[in-house]
């Protein structure tokens, strides 16, 4: 046996314990390490598993995303989605952003084919009324959109602008959603001049926003939303 091997065997036991753990496989069978003198410093199997579980849970917590908060949707309906529903949609969203009201308005038309004489994406009367109130729409202004079944399903609150005009249309085309619709009384031109209609719609929107600011009412309304 070489002098180097003899010096290793004669070394204190704590030297061996610091040198390598008992379970370090490449050196397990070397005769120069008196195995009884080397304590097993390896972590017990149960401790290994517990440590791995804690580490895995910590990683999962780090990766866990915050829950997505869905903004409740308010759906405005008129016949052609050209004048009344477009005005109240823009007006509502403008004031909701200013007051931090967590609702978002959308608008659709019940019967776009009735608006054959409409020109451009939106009524000039509605655009002019919005500009007078300092509200500018994002360009390009979208074209009118026909209401679909999914629009009703996604909305927590549905308002049609004129009961006399829109209740028969909804009863014929979307009868399954009729009991979820709230009706206002804002006739189309020429039955009501645009200036008077705009004032009436603005008053209705302000009243609606006061209602929606009541958290308990909003909670009951969104909780009671049915999918059909």
What is the pLDDT, as a whole number, of residue 28? 47
The model's confidence at residue 56, banded by pLDDT at 50, 70 and 90, is low
pLDDT per residue as tens digits for the range 115-144: 888 999 999 999 999 999 999 998 899 999
Does residue 58 register a pLDDT over 60? no
Q: Which residues is 157 bridged to in the sheet?
A: 74
**pLDDT average, residue stretch 156-162:** 98
Tokens encoding 13: 């036991």
Residue appearing with tokens 């609606």: 208
CA distance 202 to 106: 16
Q: What fold characterizes domain 73-223? A: Rossmann fold (3.40.50)
Which residue has 């308005």 as its token pair? 105
Rg of the chain over all Cα atoms, to the nearest angstrom: 36
The ranges assigned to domains in the chain are 3-63, 73-223
Kindly report, residue by residue over 79-126, the tens digit of the pLDDT. Answer: 999 999 999 999 999 999 999 999 999 999 999 999 888 999 999 999
| 8 Å CB contact between 72 and 218 | yes
Q: What pLDDT digit, counting tens, does each position of 174-203 carry? A: 999 999 999 999 999 999 999 999 999 999
Residue 72 has pLDDT above 60, yes or no: yes
CA distance 97 to 94: 5
Of 16 and 159, which is predicted with more confidence? 159
Question: Are the CB atoms for 106 and 75 separated by under 8 Å?
Answer: yes
Strands of the sheet with 73-78, listed across from one edge: 104-109, 73-78, 157-160, 181-183
Q: Residue 20 burial (CB < 10 Å; 0-12/13-18/19+)?
A: middle
Percent of the chain at pLDDT exceeding 90: 60
Asked which of 8-22, 86-100, 103-117, 153-167 is least confident by mean pLDDT, the reply is: 8-22
Q: What is the pLDDT of residue 225?
A: 53
The candidate with the shortest Cα–Cα distance to 85, out of 148, 164, 144, is: 144
- Looking at the chain, how many residues does it have? 228
Prediction pTM value: 0.68
């Amino acid at each position: 046996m070489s002098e180097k091997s003899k010096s290793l065997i004669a070394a204190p036991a704590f030297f061996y314990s610091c040198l390598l753990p008992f379970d370090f496989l490449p050196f397990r069978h070397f005769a120069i390490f008196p195995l009884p003198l080397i304590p097993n410093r390896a972590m017990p199997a149960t401790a290994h598993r517990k440590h791995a579980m804690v580490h895995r849970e910590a990683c999962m917590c780090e990766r866990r995303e915050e829950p997505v908060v869905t903004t409740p949707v308010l759906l405005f309906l008129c016949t052609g989605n050209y004048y009344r529903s477009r005005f109240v949609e823009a007006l509502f969203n403008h004031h909701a952003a200013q007051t931090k009201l967590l609702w978002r308005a959308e608008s659709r038309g019940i019967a776009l084919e009735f608006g054959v004489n409409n020109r451009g994406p939106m009524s000039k009367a509605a655009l002019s009324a919005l500009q007078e109130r300092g509200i500018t729409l994002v360009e390009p202004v979208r074209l009118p959109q026909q209401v679909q079944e999914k629009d009703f399903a996604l909305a927590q609150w549905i308002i049609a602008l004129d009961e006399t005009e829109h209740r028969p249309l909804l009863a014929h085309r979307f009868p399954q959603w009729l009991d979820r619709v709230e009706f206002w009384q804002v006739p189309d031109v020429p039955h009501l001049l645009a200036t008077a209609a705009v004032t009436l719609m603005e008053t209705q929107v302000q009243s609606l926003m006061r209602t929606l600011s009541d958290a308990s009412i909003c909670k009951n309304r969104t909780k009671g939303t049915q999918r059909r």
